[in-house]
């Protein structure tokens, strides 16, 4: 360590904390710490290793500082963000690009020099009088070729505590990788707080991602989607790195589906927020590896995936004992978890929208003291819990956790699933014809209706390729090409499927019930293992009625009628043609789009136009039974 860095760190850290940094032995880390401790100018610094005493200090600090409050169930706490800081701030989140580089207009970017000048106007002395917490984590399993070490600087014990539940410990991983470790860097300050310990200066809320230095800057916000840097913010860094190195960072769950004779087949699945992603990962009787972010690599002609995280930052709305038994059990047991922006009753019980039981007559929530009918300054009624209220918990609390969750080699992937919120076009489950068709028609053409998980108007249909548009740090065309190239030459690439849990009939009624998804995944597992046939349609391959009927009976004890099948699996030709036109127009206005995209879209259009002439606007699946493969 250069003498100047050593002396500076000793003075600012104290002897005990200095020894912790010295034990890592990474000159780049030392230089980073010296620079930002000087800029942030905290009153004191705490370096957190992997030791339990260090981690406990963070947890207790969150309570002492008032960022969290204890609830009735041991280990559970609640945190409240500013009333107007309840979701990802897309407007003030930007990727910093140096001159000469560009991304698509659908990706928010900012001139790097401009962005750095802006953030460095905000950062100086922002931690004056506060304690800086330095934490080390690992993205992906430790001791693995998937491992990416990460360091977080924050003055929020809530953020540091949340990350402890969400990520694997990384201090020893820094030591293992040695002086040459390439690590991600995160700098966060919540800034000035009000009497409720929530952020005051939202006008200075910034989330900037600097790809040149693998660094994320975040100020004047507490909401986890903006501040838990190792989550969606680190995705931008990892997508950029993976693009250069030939692996993928995807907004995907990883789960194991059980087939006959207790066979386990692993799937990944990409879903935008509030599209059923976590509830899918938590299917009763199946195994969860991860619910949100995955790294995918090719290993000896196999696709293998890991969960980047070790916990869940899940949406709480709608979780109930009937539909979500695994999560329900974890939330009602003495597990360490953090709720955010939910209602707390006078006896310190947690309540959220969609929970079993009656809505309490009073309590405390993200708006302060709450009662039914309370309105905000705009006259809008305030619900008992925010639609984007969350819970943060370790996967170890889930009884369906897969034993391979920390396997440094990852799990072998048999199927990849894409799903959004689609009221009128996509059927409940469908298999792509091949890798190219799946990546482009199922993944790159994904659309979904907006939800409360992002700031803005809900209910608007948005283009969201692979459910990853918000997190891309490379052009969309390049991202699609990377996915195409990833599986193009694999001798046995994973099968690709689409699912849609939100299809409506002509009266606006959902055709899927919430747990029907269990059947779609059982059918996909059988298809991956070549145990059932499918019907070839203009848009993909669909199940046969005689294969779904016994699955519904044996798994859900439901009678699945021919009428149910007809309603769910009728091909809506005109709606699919309209989608092709929407998606084609979008890609015509993006950068570096591979020709394969237009080839697949044109081929899908031709098949649909031919079907329209032959069968009309709606095609019964029974009509196509002769196309069995």
pLDDT, tens only, 78-109:
999 999 999 888 889 999 999 989 999 999 99
Q: Which two tokens stand for residue 386?
A: 């925010």
For range 317-328, the mean pLDDT: 92
Average pLDDT, the chain: 94
Q: Kind and range of the H or E element at 136?
A: strand 131-139
Q: Which two tokens stand for residue 481?
A: 């090409």
| Residue 258 in this model has a pLDDT that exceeds 80 | yes
Contact (Cβ atoms closer than 8 angstroms) between residue 473 and residue 211: yes
| Residue 4 in this model has a pLDDT that exceeds 80 | no
For range 44-62, the mean pLDDT: 97
Q: Which two tokens stand for residue 461?
A: 């249909």
Band the pLDDT of 276: cuts 50, 70, 90.
confident
| Residue 208 in this model has a pLDDT that exceeds 90 | yes
pLDDT at 240: 97
Band the pLDDT of 455: cuts 50, 70, 90.
very low
pLDDT at 449: 72
Q: How far apart are CA 552 and CA 563, in angstroms?
A: 14
pLDDT in tens, 407-451: 999 999 999 999 998 889 999 999 999 999 999 999 999 998 765
pLDDT at 44: 96
Band the pLDDT of 296: cuts 50, 70, 90.
very high
Q: Scanning the structure block, which residue is given the tokens 């019907």? A: 535
pLDDT in tens, 516-562: 999 999 999 999 999 999 999 999 999 999 999 999 999 999 999 99
pLDDT at 164: 96
pLDDT at 290: 96
Q: How far apart are CA 265 and CA 294, in angstroms?
A: 16
pLDDT at 482: 98
pLDDT at 257: 98
| Residue 475 in this model has a pLDDT that exceeds 90 | yes
Q: How far apart are CA 518 and CA 512, in angstroms?
A: 11
For range 369-377, the mean pLDDT: 95
The model carries a pTM of 0.94
Contact (Cβ atoms closer than 8 angstroms) between residue 335 and residue 391: no
Report the interhelical angle of 27-40 vs 3-13 (nearest 10°).
Answer: 50
Which residue pairs from 104-110 have beta carbons closer than 8 angstroms and sit at least 24 positions apart in sequence?
A: 104/475, 104/476, 104/477, 104/590, 104/591, 105/589, 106/463, 106/469, 106/476, 106/590, 107/469, 107/472, 107/473, 107/475, 107/476, 110/208
**φ, ψ dihedrals at 428, nearest 5°:** -60, -35
Q: How far apart are CA 597 and CA 601, in angstroms?
A: 6
pLDDT at 460: 74
Active-site residues, by number, are 275
| Domains of the chain listed by start with CATH number | 3-66+90-245 (3.40.449.10), 248-310+403-627 (3.90.228.20), 313-397 (2.170.8.10)
């Amino acid at each position: 360590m250069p003498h100047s860095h050593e002396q500076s760190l000793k003075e600012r850290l104290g002897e005990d904390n200095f020894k912790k940094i010295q034990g890592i032995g990474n000159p780049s880390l030392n230089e980073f710490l010296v620079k930002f401790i000087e800029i942030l100018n905290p009153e004191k610094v705490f370096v957190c290793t992997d030791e339990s005493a260090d981690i406990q200090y963070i947890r207790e600090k969150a309570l002492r500082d008032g960022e969290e409050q204890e609830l009735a169930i041991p280990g559970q706490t609640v945190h409240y963000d500013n009333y107007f800081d309840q979701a990802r701030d897309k407007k003030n989140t930007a990727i910093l690009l140096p001159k000469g580089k560009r991304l698509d207009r659908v990706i928010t970017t900012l001139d790097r020099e401009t962005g750095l000048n802006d953030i460095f106007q905000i950062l100086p002395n922002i931690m004056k009088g506060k304690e800086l917490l330095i934490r080390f984590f690992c993205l992906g399993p430790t001791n693995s070729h998937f491992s990416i070490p990460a360091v977080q600087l924050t003055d929020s014990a809530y953020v540091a505590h949340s990350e402890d539940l969400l990520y694997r410990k990384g201090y020893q991983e820094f030591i293992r990788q040695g002086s040459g470790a390439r690590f991600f860097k995160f700098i966060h300050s919540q800034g000035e707080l009000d009497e409720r310990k929530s952020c005051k200066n939202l006008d200075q809320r910034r989330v900037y991602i600097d790809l040149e230095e693998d660094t994320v800057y975040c100020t004047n916000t507490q909401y986890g989607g903006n501040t838990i840097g190792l989550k969606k913010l680190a995705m931008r860094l990892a997508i950029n790195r993976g693009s250069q190195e030939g692996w993928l960072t995807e907004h995907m769950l990883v789960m194991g589906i059980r087939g006959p004779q207790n066979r386990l087949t692993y799937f990944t699945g990409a879903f935008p927020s509030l599209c059923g992603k976590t509830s899918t990962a938590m299917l009763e009787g199946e195994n969860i590896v991860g619910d949100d972010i995955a790294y995918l690599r090719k290993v000896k002609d196999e696709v293998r995936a890991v969960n980047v995280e070790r916990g869940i930052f899940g949406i709480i709305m709608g979780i109930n004992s009937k539909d979500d038994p695994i999560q329900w059990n974890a939330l009602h047991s003495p597990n360490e978890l953090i709720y955010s922006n939910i209602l707390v009753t006078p006896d310190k019980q947690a309540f959220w929208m969609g929970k079993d039981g009656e809505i309490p007559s009073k309590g405390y929530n993200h708006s302060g003291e709450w009662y039914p009918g309370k309105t905000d300054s705009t006259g809008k009624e305030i619900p008992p819990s925010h639609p984007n209220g969350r819970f943060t918990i370790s996967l170890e609390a889930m009884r369906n956790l897969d034993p391979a969750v920390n396997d440094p080699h990852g799990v072998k992937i048999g199927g990849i699933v894409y799903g959004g919120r689609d009221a009128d076009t996509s059927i409940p489950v469908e298999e792509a014809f091949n890798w190219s068709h799946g990546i482009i028609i199922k993944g790159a053409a994904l659309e979904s209706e907006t939800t409360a998980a992002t700031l803005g108007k809900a209910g608007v249909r948005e283009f969201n390729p692979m459910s990853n548009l918000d997190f891309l740090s490379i052009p969309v065309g390049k991202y699609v090409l990377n996915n195409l190239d990833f599986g193009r030459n694999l001798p046995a690439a994973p099968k690709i499927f689409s699912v849609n849990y939100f299809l409506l009939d002509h009266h606006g009624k959902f055709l899927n019930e919430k747990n029907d998804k269990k059947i779609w995944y059982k059918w996909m597992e059988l298809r991956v293992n070549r145990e059932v046939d499918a019907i070839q349609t203009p848009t993909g391959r669909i199940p046969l009625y005689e294969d779904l009927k016994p699955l519904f009976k044996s798994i859900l004890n439901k009678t699945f009628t021919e009428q149910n099948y007809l309603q769910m699996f009728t091909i809506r030709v005109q709606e699919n043609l309209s989608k092709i036109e929407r998606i084609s127009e979008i890609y015509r206005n993006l950068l570096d789009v591979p020709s394969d995209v237009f080839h697949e879209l044109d081929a899908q259009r031709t098949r649909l136009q031919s079907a329209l002439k032959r069968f009309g606007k709606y095609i019964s699946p029974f009509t196509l039974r002769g196309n069995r493969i």
